[in-house]
Amino acid sequence: MPVITALNPKDPVKKALIISLCVSSVSLSLKVGAFWVTGSSAALSDSLESVVHLFAIAFVVYGYYLSLKPADEDHHYGHERVEHLSVGAEGAIIIMAGISIVYYAIQSMIHGISIENMGTGLYLLVSAALVNLVLGTYILRTGRKYNSMIAISNGKHTLTDVWTSAGVVISLVIIHFTGWLYIDIIVSLLMAAYISYEAWKLLTFSVKGIMDTRNIGADEAIRGVLDSDLPGAIKDWHHLRHRTSGKTTWVELHLVFEDGISLKQAHKDATILERKLIDSIHSDAVITMHLEPRDAHDKEHEILKGANKEKRLDEFI
């Protein structure tokens, strides 16, 4: 499998995000046109959500390019963690769109509602919804295939555009047959609640990533290997820690070996276990192992007592 870098034109995730940026501009134009000809509050809400979405995609594309930069002198662990910031920023921007939708819905209730040219507006909104349906499905599949949360979140956000546009279309159809204009306000408020819920899920993912919350899938895979037959002279393990940033999982643990084993043999056994752990995670992984003799384990750790002035060593592990 080729290494994906920011300069690799075959990077499927980068390609999907750039397509998303370009096509979302077309979708936004259709929605703005729908609002322009109808004057619908729900159509305005849909347009605002798409404006926010376009800015969010631009930030996501930048975040993705930055995440691909290799480790350097100032960032020894690489730049992949920006993924959590990028997803969180997208969620925050969507929340702002939800608040704006509520504001304009209230304004419409105060100043009255007037909707015109519903036929043309419906045509434009249906076109925008179909464009986003195809785009969102493509981006979501790409993100899941290549395990890119940036692409997955962007795909989900794009698909929310489909449902918001569908809500506006339904409200305009109901207004056309019933003349009940206030359905426009109700749909706007429902749209605001829905996209805010989706934004909350993105923010939750972002915060969990920044706080190094345990990756359940990686944890089960790692423990599955460690609880099976350990290679060679490895007798036990403890002090397991791991965190996932972007496509890389960082794993630390202590291994207990038989006494008297040579350093060469211990290194060989640890390397075999390292390969098993990397294969089990199904992504890039960096494994750091601390090798210990079984009988002298507790005695050797006496040296570390008091090294951390405020907390015991075990409180960190």
**Pair (37, 163) in one structural domain:** yes
**Pair (45, 143) in one structural domain:** yes
Question: Is residue 2 situated within a structural domain?
Answer: no
**Pair (206, 223) in one structural domain:** no
- How confident is the model at residue 50, as a pLDDT? 72
- How confident is the model at residue 69, as a pLDDT? 82
Number of residues assigned to the chain: 317
Beta carbons within 10 angstroms of residue 308's beta carbon: 12
- Single-letter code of the amino acid located at 149: M
The structural domain count of the chain equals: 2
Can you give the CATH number for the domain in which 242 is found? 3.30.70.1350
Please state, in angstroms and rounded to a whole number, the distance separating the CA atoms of residues 20 and 54: 9
Question: Is residue 4 situated within a structural domain?
Answer: no
**Pair (200, 136) in one structural domain:** yes
**Pair (156, 281) in one structural domain:** no
Can you give the CATH number for the domain in which 173 is found? 1.20.1510.10
Please state, in angstroms and rounded to a whole number, the distance separating the CA atoms of residues 42 and 47: 9
**Pair (125, 256) in one structural domain:** no
Domain containing residue 292: 216-316
Contact 195, 160 (CB under 8 A): yes
Q: What is the pLDDT along the chain (317 residues), one digit of tens a residue?
A: 333 444 454 788 888 888 888 888 887 787 777 777 776 666 666 677 677 777 777 877 877 778 778 888 888 888 878 878 877 887 887 788 778 778 777 776 666 555 555 667 777 778 888 888 998 899 999 988 887 777 887 788 788 777 777 777 777 777 777 777 677 778 778 877 887 887 888 889 888 888 888 888 899 999 999 998 899 899 999 889 999 887 789 999 999 998 888 999 999 999 999 999 999 987 788 999 999 888 766 677 777 777 777 777 666 65
Please state, in angstroms and rounded to a whole number, the distance separating the CA atoms of residues 129 and 221: 39
**What is this structure's pTM?**
0.68
Contact 202, 90 (CB under 8 A): yes
- How confident is the model at residue 64, as a pLDDT? 78
**Pair (78, 220) in one structural domain:** no
- How confident is the model at residue 182, as a pLDDT? 73
∠ at Cα 86 (161, 143), nearest 5°? 60
- How confident is the model at residue 44, as a pLDDT? 67
- How confident is the model at residue 277, as a pLDDT? 94
Q: Quick check: helix, strand or coil at residue 188? A: helix
- How confident is the model at residue 4, as a pLDDT? 41
- How confident is the model at residue 192, as a pLDDT? 79
Number of H helices, E strands in the chain: 9, 3
Picking from 185, 210, 235, the residue at the C-terminal end of a domain is 210
Half-sphere exposure of 249 (CA within 13 A, CB side): 24
